[in-house]
Structure 1
C-alpha cells in the first residue's frame, strides 16, 4: 500500500477546490460547515449516516481498571463517551476491490517456459 502520510484538512480543501473551481476560502467554509454539522448531530445524540460511506456514532465506555505500563500500578479510567466510525459495506467493498486490483497489477508475471 503506497503512502503512509496523513491527509490533512488543508489537503482536502485544496483537492476539492481544484475539482470544483471554488476558491480555497469558499471550500474551507464548506468543509468546516460539514464537520460542524457532523459534530452537532453527534452532540444531539444522533448517528450521522452518509450513505455509501459510513456512519458516525457515539459509544459509551464503562469505567474500567487499567495498568500503568511504567509502574505496574493499577489506575481507574473514568467512564466516558467516544465517537466511532463504522464504514459502509459499499466503502469496504470499494476499498478492497481497488487494493486487490493494485496487488494483482504489482504481482510478478509467471513465465511458463
Structure 2
C-alpha cells in the first residue's frame, strides 16, 4: 500500500473528513516518526510495532561490477520490529 492508497482508504472510511485534512494528518504522523528516528529516539505503536535506528559498522565491501574492494562508511539504518498483536494477526489460519 502506498501513501496515496492509505489516504484514499482513510477518506473512504471517514467521509466526514476532507481529503486534504487526511493528507495533512498522515504526513504529520510520518514526519513525526522520521524526526524522532533522526533524533535517535525509538517510536513504539502498541500492537503494531516499534521503529528504531541501528548502526552499521564501517566495513570493507566489494564493488560487484569490478570486483575491487571499497571502504563502506558507518551508517544508520531504520529498523522495524513487529508487535505481538500484528504478528498474531498475520499468522492466524483465518478460522478465528
Divergent runs of 4+, >2 A:
none
For 1:72 and 1:50, the matched residues in 2 are separated by 43
The total of aligned residue pairs comes to: 94
- Greater strand share, 1 or 2? 2
1:18 aligns with 2:7: no
Q: Between the two structures, name the one with larger relative contact order (CA 8 Å, sep ≥ 6).
A: 2
For 1:24 and 1:96, the matched residues in 2 are separated by 33
Q: Residue 18 of structure 1: SS of its match in structure 2?
A: helix
For 1:23 and 1:15, the matched residues in 2 are separated by 13
Q: Give 2:86's aligned residue.
A: 91
Q: Residue 71 of structure 1: SS of its match in structure 2?
A: coil
Gaps of 5+ in 1: 1-6, 105-113
Q: Considering only aligned residues, what root-mean-square deviation do their CA atoms show, in Å?
A: 1.3
Q: CA deviation at 1:43?
A: 2.0
TM-score (normalizing by structure 1): 0.78
TM-score (normalizing by structure 2): 0.90
For 1:69 and 1:44, the matched residues in 2 are separated by 33
Greater C-alpha Rg? 1
